[in-house]
A and B are shown apart, each in its own frame.
Chain A
Amino acid sequence: SQTIHQWPATLVQPVGSPLSLECTVEGTSNPNLYWYRQAAGRGLQLLFYSVGIGQISSEVPQNLSASRPQDRQFILSSKKLLLSDSGFYLCAWSADRGSGNTIYFGEGSWLTVV
């Protein structure tokens, strides 16, 4: 069966510091991968999605970036964090076709920028 893991689960970072959140999927190949952010009272915001290695689409201009160095690995990064980057970050995957495009989420990462 397929599983998705992301880490770290929680982190507290000072303003201006770098960020790296990592996500891996197991049990499937060529998945679509996503990074969402959930901020208080604002629902889920799609940040990035990827349909293949090195293929990243950005939905929202900001100081975050994403990379997909391997088929089942998706990394969210920032060179300098802002206070407004605080939130709950969710990695997710879906099959590249079929399944009614159901998306499956990881456990989430709580980021607090201080």
Chain B
Amino acid sequence: GDSVTQMEGPVTLSEEAFLTINCTYTATGYPSLFWYVQYPGEGLQLLLKATKADDKGSNKGFEATYRKETTSFHLEKGSVQVSDSAVYFCALSPRAGTALIFGKGTTLSVSS
């Protein structure tokens, strides 16, 4: 069945370091891909998304490219800040009208 696998955390970085959180997926057809972020004690917020192969989603300095050949949607940011500390979830939507399938989440901790 459809699934999402993302790298285990926690990821601990110093401020201004480069961030990569890996995400790969298994799905039939052409799913849409998402990254959500959860700040401490809050619900999930959409960070970025891509709906077709080679699309690049970007927001708040984060970006991810939909790579169909490698079934990946890795999240990157060139220079992280302390305020980026949160849990990041990769997700896919197999097709319109279906619920999202989430990865287990990756905790990012950024220190100054």
Q: How many of B's residues come within 8 Å of A, CB to CB?
A: 24
Who on chain B is nearest to A9 by CB? B41
Q: Which residues of A contact B98 (CB under 8 A)?
A: 101
Task: Please tell me which one of the listed residues B43, B93, B104 contacts residue A101 in the complex, with CB atoms under 8 A apart.
Answer: B93
Cβ of A24 within 8 Å of any chain B Cβ, yes or no, is no
B46 and A106: CB pair below 8 A? no
Who on chain B is nearest to A46 by CB? B99
Which 5 interchain pairs have the tightest Cβ spacing?
A43-B104, A101-B93, A44-B102, A105-B43, A100-B51
Q: How far is the CA of A31 from the CA of B94 in the complex (A)?
A: 18
Q: Chain A: residues with CB nearer than 8 A to chain B?
A: 32, 34, 36, 41-44, 46, 49, 51, 59, 90, 92, 96-98, 100-108
B105 and A43: CB pair below 8 A? yes
- Contacts A105-B45, A108-B42 hold; do A34 and B51 have CB atoms under 8 A apart? no
- Contacts A43-B103, A44-B89 hold; do A101 and B46 have CB atoms under 8 A apart? no
Q: Chain B: residues with CB nearer than 8 A to chain A?
A: 32, 34, 36, 42-46, 49, 51, 89, 91, 93, 95-105
A100 and B42: CB pair below 8 A? no
A100 and B32: CB pair below 8 A? yes
Q: Which residues of A contact B105 (CB under 8 A)?
A: 43-44
Q: How far is the CA of A59 from the CA of B43 in the complex (A)?
A: 21
Who on chain B is nearest to A97 by CB? B96
Who on chain A is nearest to B44 by CB? A105
B104 and A107: CB pair below 8 A? no
Task: Please tell me which one of the listed residues A32, A105, A106, A108 contacts residue B97 in the complex, with CB atoms under 8 A apart.
Answer: A32
B43 and A102: CB pair below 8 A? no
Q: Which residues of A contact B42 (CB under 8 A)?
A: 107-108
